[in-house]
Amino acid sequence: MAASNLENQLHSAQKNLLFLQREHANTLKGLHAEIRRLQQHCTDLTYELTLKSSDLTGKKPSQGYYSSLGLIAPILCLLFS
């Protein structure tokens, strides 16, 4: 009788663990998607700010600055990985 109860508890614990692992995986997928979306939004806003800034000063932004915009996403990716 006690062995059967332990087996039931073990089976229940295994099911609960599997459920939690699946939920955790889904949560991580959602968070990674949100990070990618926020990285893109940050890149877009930085680009927009650069264009507005250059309009105010009347100068064209340097090519080097545009190439540095591509560094934002990898840096954020490193922070959140």
Give 35-72 pLDDT, tens digit per residue.
999 999 999 999 999 888 877 777 665 555 555 555 55
The percentage of the chain sitting over the pLDDT mark of 70, rounded to a whole number, equals 72
Q: How far apart are CA 49 and CA 58, in angstroms?
A: 14
Higher pLDDT, 49 or 13: 13
Instruction: Give residue 58's domain range.
Output: 2-80
Full-model pTM: 0.58
What pLDDT, on the 0 to 100 scale, is given for residue 27?
98
Number of domains present in the structure of the chain: 1
